[in-house]
């Protein structure tokens, strides 16, 4: 580390700024924002700079720089285009142990200005040590979009309660857990959505009622999307990065899992077909147990947690145990597979509605209402239907859906090995018998499937061409 980042209190401190042009103006703005008393020395001071100084208790001296001006100053900035002068300012300052910055000349700087993300009182400084200021600025732009604007408000609210929290929670660990919960949980979310009064009220209650030895954590039920990490929401990512423990399903991709906080415990609780690793009740209990230990628990599910995800049941258990929770939507397989295969789920000419249906059939008999699924002008999407495809197709045809209705399987949607197999209700099962596309896979039935040929964009293989469609016998 070539520079140690420090934050300098400049309120009412005397700073010398050598130079009176635009570059000096930019530095003067920063100095004034931090409350410094700025003295500018230059042969000419531009109008805007003069105005800024007038408004901020500053002073401008028209004339020649001399070392005597450094008397009583605690920082010096040289912002002139005269190299000799800049060098003199540097040496004079160093001789007097005054930190000095010569703009755009890292060699003559004993301190540098970082790129700043200002969420006062929270301030982030990013520095490349003068070697690549543009890189630091690009990084700043990223942080600007990532850090909620109201972070500063959150800090002010926290400050307001600081002493009272210290009085109630006597150990550093108790306070850490308290503040982590406040600053990352439900209360912070309230501030971010502009409900500060509610947030303040919740902190009051937390201080009044919380048992310092048994602080309750929180559960985030997060939709991890179909696999491609770029399809996560910002909120999912933020919560994943503050997890103490992550309970995840088989459908959550490695790439998504990689984005969880480095030191979070990752626990697989996935279910594969006919092979239940942790029964649902066990998962519900685990969520409650870890939250009661004061942890921030992320329950990470493939796709969307409220679409064939049993998310509702998990929340009911949490609710019954008074555990606070948040739910973050994810991109569900139907959305992901449809967009990535170029099969719109609705279309003015082909489908005015879409149904998401489970293809899992209990005891090989079906509790689906097939009469409803055969209506024209609708798209039917089957989740978990790969193994029951022959039965599903047969039943749809029996109930009146034309056998030549286009149908597709989208396998491992959005991943690099996504594959799409298209055929008709009559042919799709036999095509799949030959193609053996792997799970997870989604089945789309309806006229919209015919658009795939034209709208496919994600570079998946066209598989059906090499297979011989055999009409199923019904
Ligand atoms: N909650 C999930 C669905 C869980 S049910 C969601 O909203 O997407 C599991 C079924 O989802 C699988 O059997 C499969 O039909 C479908 N599925 C999930 N991810 C998929 C993917 N990447 N590609 C194709 N189908 C997928």
Res 445: pLDDT: 98
Give which of 58, 72, 68 is closest to 29, Cα–Cα: 58
444 beta partners: 381, 408
What percentage of the chain reaches a pLDDT higher than 90? 68
Write the pLDDT tens digit of every residue in 167-203.
Answer: 999 888 788 888 888 887 778 888 888 899 999 999 9
Is the separation of the CB atoms in 405 and 424 below 8 Å? yes
Examine the fold and report which residue of 113, 143, 169 is the final residue of a domain before the chain moves on.
Answer: 113
Identify whether 233 is part of a domain: yes
Mean confidence (pLDDT) of the chain: 90
Contact present, 222 and 330 (Cβ < 8 Å)? yes
Q: Which of 389, 406, 396 lies closest to 368 in space, CA to CA?
A: 396
The count of domains in the chain is 4
The ligand 1 atom at the shortest distance from the C-alpha of residue 331 is 7
- Do 53 and 75 fall within a single domain? yes
Bigger pLDDT: 383 or 121? 383
Pick from 57, 90, 113: which residue ends a domain? 113
Confidence of residue 470 (pLDDT cuts 50, 70, 90): low
More confident residue, 214 or 403: 403
- What is the extent of the structural domain holding 203? 151-208
pLDDT tens digits, one per residue of 68-119:
999 999 999 999 999 999 999 999 999 999 999 999 898 999 999 998 998 8
Ligand 1 centroid to 303 CA: how many Å? 6
Statement to judge: residues 173 and 222 lie in one domain: no
Residue owning the nearest CA to atom 13 of ligand 1:
384
Residue 38 lies inside a defined structural domain of this protein: yes
pLDDT in tens, 403-459: 999 999 999 999 989 999 999 999 999 999 999 999 999 999 999 999 999 999 997
Residues whose beta carbon lies within 6 Å of some atom of ligand 1 = 226-227, 251, 301-304, 307-309, 332-333, 337, 383-384, 410, 412-414, 440-442
Tell me, yes or no, whether 461 and 339 share the same domain.
Answer: yes
Asked, for residue 365, whether it belongs to a domain, the answer is yes
Q: What angle do CA 304, 443, 421 make, to 5 degrees?
A: 125
Residues 314 and 410 in one domain: no
Let me know whether 374 and 441 are in one domain.
yes
Q: Are strands 265-268 and 245-248 parallel, antiparallel or unpaired?
A: parallel
pLDDT digits (tens, 9 = 90+) for 130-176: 778 788 888 888 888 778 788 889 989 999 999 999 999 988 878 88
CA distance 221 to 240: 10
Position of tokens 């628990």?
297
Q: Which of 37, 228, 244, 249 is catalytic?
A: 249
Substitution site in 303, 336, 354 for ligand 1 pocket (most atoms within 8 Å of beta carbon) = 303
Residues 311 and 346 in one domain: no
Q: Are residues 461 and 338 in the same domain?
A: yes
Kindly give the number of the ligand 1 atom that is closest to the alpha carbon of 385. Answer: 15
What pLDDT is stored for residue 466 in this prediction? Answer: 57
| pTM for the model | 0.70
Q: Which helix (H) or strand (E) covers residue 90, if one does?
A: helix 83-95
Ligand 1, atom nearest to 418 Cα: 23
Same domain, 341 and 457: yes
Q: Does residue 400 sit in the same domain as residue 433?
A: yes
DSSP class of 453: H
pLDDT band at 238 (very low <50, low <70, confident <90, very high): confident
| pLDDT of amino acid 469 | 63
- Report yes or no on 137 lying in a domain: no
Residues 68 and 12 both lie in one domain: yes
Ligand 1 nearest atom to the CA of residue 413, by list position: 23
| Mutation test residue for ligand 1: of 223, 249, 414, 442, the one with most atoms within 8 Å of CB | 442
413/383 Cα distance (integer angstroms): 12
Q: 120 in a domain, yes or no?
A: no
d(CA 300, CA 271): 13
pLDDT for residue 472 is more than 70: no
Residue 362 is assigned to a structural domain of this protein = yes
- Are both 447 and 341 inside the same structural domain? yes
Q: What is the DSSP string of 292-356?
A: HTT-EEEEEESB-TTSSS-HHHHHHHHHHTT--EEEE----HHHHHHHHHT--S-BTTTBSEEEE
Cα 251 to ligand 1 centre (Å) = 7
- Whether 123 is in a domain gets the answer no
In testing the pocket of ligand 1, which one of 440, 444, 445, 460 has its CB within 8 Å of the most ligand atoms? 440
For the ranges 22-36, 244-258, 458-472, which has the lowest average pLDDT? Answer: 458-472
Query: Tokens 């042009």 — which residue?
Result: 21
Does 372 have pLDDT greater than 70?
yes
Q: Is 173 a catalytic residue?
A: no
pLDDT at 379: 98
CATH number at residue 222: 3.40.1010.10
Residue 415's CATH number: 3.30.950.10
Report d(CA 460, CA 241) in Å as an integer.
32
User: Which DSSP letter does residue 451 get?
Assistant: G
Distance 331 CA to ligand 1 centre (A): 10
- Separation in Å, CA 347 to CA 401, 454, 458: 19, 14, 20
Better-scored residue on pLDDT, 343 or 460: 343
What single DSSP character describes residue 65? -
Question: Within a 13 Å sphere around the CA of 252, how many CA atoms are in the beta-carbon half?
Answer: 29
* Residue of 168, 235, 265, 271 marked catalytic: 271
Expressed in angstroms and rounded, the spacing between residue 183 Cα and the centre of ligand 1 is: 33
Q: Is residue 198 part of a domain?
A: yes
Question: CA-to-CA distance for 5 and 279, rounded, in angstroms?
Answer: 50
∠117-120-126 over CA atoms, to 5°? 25
Q: Which of 278, 298, 328 is the last residue of a domain?
A: 328
Q: How far is the CA of 265 from the centre of ligand 1 (A)?
A: 25
Is the same domain home to 376 and 306?
A: no
Annotation marks residue 249 as catalytic: yes
Q: Please name which of 254, 251, 260 lies closest in space to residue 226, comparing C-alpha atoms.
A: 251
What separation in Å is there between the alpha carbon of 440 and the centre of ligand 1?
A: 6
Share of the chain above pLDDT 70, in %: 95
> Phi then psi for 63, rounded to 5 degrees?
155, -165
How far apart CA 311 and CA 313 sit, in angstroms, is: 5
Region of residue 57 (left: phi > 0; alpha: psi -120 to 50; beta: else): left
Name, of 238-252, 364-378, 389-403, the range with top average pLDDT.
389-403
């Amino acid at each position: 580390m070539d520079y140690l980042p420090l934050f300098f209190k400049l309120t009412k401190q005397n700073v010398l700024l050598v130079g009176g042009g635009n570059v000096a103006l930019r530095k003067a703005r920063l100095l004034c924002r931090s409350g410094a008393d700025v003295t500018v020395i230059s042969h000419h001071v531009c109008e805007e700079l003069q105005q800024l100084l007038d408004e901020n208790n500053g002073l401008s001296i028209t004339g020649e720089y001399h070392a005597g001006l450094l008397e009583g100053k605690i920082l010096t900035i040289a912002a002139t285009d005269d190299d000799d002068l800049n060098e003199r300012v540097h040496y004079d300052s160093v001789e007097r142990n005054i930190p000095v910055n010569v703009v755009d000349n890292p060699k003559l700087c004993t301190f540098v200005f970082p790129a700043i993300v200002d969420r006062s009182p929270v301030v982030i400084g990013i520095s490349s040590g003068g070697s690549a200021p543009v890189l630091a600025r690009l990084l700043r732009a990223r942080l600007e979009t990532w850090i909620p604007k109201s972070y500063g408000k959150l800090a002010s609210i926290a400050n307001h309660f600081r002493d009272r929290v210290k009085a109630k929670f006597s150990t550093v660990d108790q306070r850490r857990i308290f503040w982590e919960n406040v600053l990352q949980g439900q209360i912070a979310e309230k501030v971010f959505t502009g409900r500060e009064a509610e947030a303040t009220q919740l902190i009051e209650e937390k201080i009044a009622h919380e048992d310092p030895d048994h602080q309750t954590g929180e559960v985030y039920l997060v939709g991890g999307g179909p696999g491609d990490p770029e399809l996560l929401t910002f909120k999912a990512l933020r919560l994943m990065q503050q997890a103490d423990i992550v309970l995840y399903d088989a459908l959550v991709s490695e790439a998504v899992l990689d984005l969880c906080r480095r030191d979070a415990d990752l626990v697989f609780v996935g279910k594969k077909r006919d092979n239940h690793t942790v029964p649902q009740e066990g998962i519900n209990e685990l969520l409650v147990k870890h939250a009661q230990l004061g942890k921030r628990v992320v329950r990470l599910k493939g796709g969307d947690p409220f679409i064939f995800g049993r998310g509702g049941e998990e929340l009911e258990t949490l609710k019954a145990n008074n555990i606070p929770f948040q739910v973050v939507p994810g991109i569900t397989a139907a959305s992901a597979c449809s967009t990535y295969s170029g099969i719109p789920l609705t279309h003015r000419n082909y489908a005015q509605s879409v149904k998401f249906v489970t293809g899992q059939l209990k005891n090989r008999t079906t509790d689906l209402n097939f009469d409803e699924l055969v209506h024209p002008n609708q798209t039917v999407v089957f989740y978990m239907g790969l193994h029951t495809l022959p039965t599903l197709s047969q039943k749809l045809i029996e109930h009146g859906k034309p056998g030549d209705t286009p149908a597709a399987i989208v396998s491992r949607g959005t991943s690099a090995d996504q594959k799409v197999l298209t055929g008709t209700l009559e042919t799709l099962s036999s095509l799949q018998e030959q193609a053996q596309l792997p799970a997870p896979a989604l089945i789309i039935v309806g006229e919209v499937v015919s658009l795939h040929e034209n709208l496919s964009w994600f570079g998946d293989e066209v598989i059906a061409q090499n297979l011989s469609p055999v009409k199923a016998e019904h």
